[in-house]
Amino acid sequence: MLTDAQRERLDLVLVSPRNPLNIGAAARAMANFGFHHLAVVAAFDPTWREARSAIGALDQLNNAVESPTLAEAVAHSTLVVGTGTLTYRKPEQPVVALPDLAPLLAAEIQRGGRVALVFGSEKHGLTRDDLSYCHLLVEIPTDPAQPSMNLGQAVAVCLYEIAVRSQAAATVLAETAPADLATTAVSIPVPSDRIEILANVVEQAMQAAGYSPRAMEAANRHDLRLLLRRLALSHADTRRILGIFRRILWRLKRDPLSHDKLE
Amino acid sequence: MLTDAQRERLDLVLVSPRNPLNIGAAARAMANFGFHHLAVVAAFDPTWREARSAIGALDQLNNAVESPTLAEAVAHSTLVVGTGTLTYRKPEQPVVALPDLAPLLAAEIQRGGRVALVFGSEKHGLTRDDLSYCHLLVEIPTDPAQPSMNLGQAVAVCLYEIAVRSQAAATVLAETAPADLATTAVSIPVPSDRIEILANVVEQAMQAAGYSPRAMEAANRHDLRLLLRRLALSHADTRRILGIFRRILWRLKRDPLSHDKLE
């Protein structure tokens, strides 16, 4: 089992849940397996908030964080894991089967990271935009004839697997490579909001360099986010690249003519 | 993963479920993990039957078997596994943590057995009488502060674990001891209804030998069932013991005086 301190480093994020009962079911599963941090992004039915003030409500519900966007909910996460059925999609990130997930999460938590496990709405799962915030995707190995799980049950299965199977992996890891994990400063994971700041600066630079704001809206922004996450940048990398793009941006904006000429 | 044929040898049994939604949730989890045989014992709210005839209802619901007693539901099971929180009980059977269950079930299925996984009602779990039909108990490793799981979530977690973790174990077993499993005739598992017949004959013999029917009612019958299951009798054992007790019973009944004298 994970230690209590390790469990503190996992956030469960529900994006646009439609049914308040499912928020309650997710909170119950969290309590069963000793996880505490629930974030709800843009809930469809806001009545779930009433349940929070009820006597006997779980701490996980009382303390749940509401965020308008997934970007805010995972701002401090260094590893964002999306969940869902991938039957009808071609994933752009690495896909891990749930039975293989625990060692990855344990390693991330051990090197000082913070993990977000993200579930989409009951009806559509995670949207393409949601997925662009994810470093990797996890798939529960279900029967192809009935792949789609109930949200509360999917949460329970994932948290069970992570709680039960993470420690052995974490222990092995600590025994084999303690020096690497503890001392290499550049391997400190980069929280999601730093990547987002970088994405914004790069985007501004692209626009200043002549990309039309409209072209940046959907596809490009999406690809940019995925690219930056795929790079697995260190803190130092992030600082350096941010510096470069800020300088480019400042330069492009100082000289409006060069901008206009390109349009 | 288990093969389709292996999955056919597992029955999911819900004893006295109170909420029809939970029966549906259990059926959904079964479909997700490729299990087909659902048995419902003495459902509190019979309205769940209506859901079965609905268009698009799962086969697991349509084909669910209703039994008035747990004894009937597990009649053909050679290994009956009870589930639940054991915080407030002193279990009389061996207790296995869920992460260790899969190899046991795989072994039982491989030697030609049939497994029943039994869940009690949402409110009370399995009763002491229900537990007397179980060969072993499985415990989901939950947080002591919130040990009790939602029924649908508990079913999902158990079936996930069994579906995902059984094959590796079954393969190892087949490689290490194929001869033992295939050829030893006495190791063919004894279905639960044979044990029940034996328990009844032993009980009749005990009454005929002077135990009052009232003394047999609760505690003794319970202990007798547990004892017979703990013995892990082979088919040949069962036949032999049954023969002995039938003979004793016949003898005791032929001579009513010896019976009366003892009372």
pLDDT at A211 over 80: no
Vertex B238: Cα angle to B232 and B243 (nearest 5): 155
pTM of the model: 0.79
pLDDT digits (tens, 9 = 90+) for B141-175: 999 899 999 999 999 999 999 999 876 544 444 44
- B202 & B138 share domain: no
- A55 & A142 share domain: yes
Neighboring chain B residues of A164 at a CB cutoff of 8 Å = 98-99, 141
Q: How far is A45 from chain B (nearest CA, A)?
A: 20
Residue with more model confidence, B202 or A50: B202
- A171 & A88 share domain: yes
Of the three residues A163, A182, A201, the one that is the final residue of a domain is A182
- A86 & A153 share domain: yes
- A36 & A86 share domain: yes
- Domain extent, residue A204, equals 190-262
The pLDDT of residue B257 is 53
Of B32, B150, B153, which is closest to A143 when you measure between CB atoms?
Answer: B32
- B59 & B158 share domain: yes
pLDDT digits (tens, 9 = 90+) for B78-128: 999 999 866 556 777 889 999 999 989 988 998 889 999 999 998 889 988
CB contact under 8 A, A164 and B98: yes
Of the three residues B132, B148, B183, the one that is the final residue of a domain is B183
Q: What is the CATH number of the domain that holds A78?
A: 3.40.1280.10
Pairs of residues, one from chain A and one from chain B, whose beta carbons lie less than 8 Å apart: 89
Neighboring chain A residues of B154 at a CB cutoff of 8 Å = 156
pLDDT digits (tens, 9 = 90+) for B58-73: 899 989 999 999 999 9
pLDDT at A37 over 90: yes
- A14 & A134 share domain: yes
Q: How many domains does chain A have?
A: 2
Cβ–Cβ under 8 Å, residues A188 and A232: no
Closest A-chain CA to B148: A32
In a 10 Å sphere around its CB, with 0-12 CB exposed, 13-18 middle and 19+ buried, how is residue A200 labelled? middle
- A156 & A238 share domain: no
- B227 & B155 share domain: no
List A39's β-bridge partners, or say none.
A13, A65
Q: How far is B165 from chain A (nearest CA, A)?
A: 9
- A175 & A194 share domain: no
The pLDDT of residue A86 is 63
pLDDT digits (tens, 9 = 90+) for A6-17: 899 999 999 999
- B170 & B216 share domain: no
- B232 & B144 share domain: no
Of the three residues A166, A182, A198, the one that is the final residue of a domain is A182
Averaged pLDDT for residues A98-115: 91
Q: How far apart are CA B134 and CA B95, in angstroms?
A: 11
Q: What percent of chain B has pLDDT over 90?
A: 38
The ipTM estimated for the assembled molecules is: 0.77
The pLDDT of residue B259 is 46
A125 closest CA partner among A146, A145, A100, A150: A150
SS3 for chain B, per residue? Answer: CCCHHHHCCEEEEEECCCCHHHHHHHHHHHHHCCCCEEEEECCCCCCHHHHHCCCCCCHHHHCCEEECCHHHHCCCCCEEEEECCCCCCCCCCCEEEHHHHHHHHHHHHHCCCCEEEEECECCCECCHHHHCCCCEEEECCCCCCCCCCCHHHHHHHHHHHHHHHHHHHHHHHHHHCHHHHHHCHHHCCCCHHHHHHHHHHHHHHHHHCCCCHHHHHHHHHHHHHHHHHHCCCCHHHHHHHHHHHHHHHHHHHHCHHHHHHHC
* Helix-helix angle B20-32:A151-176, to 10 degrees: 50
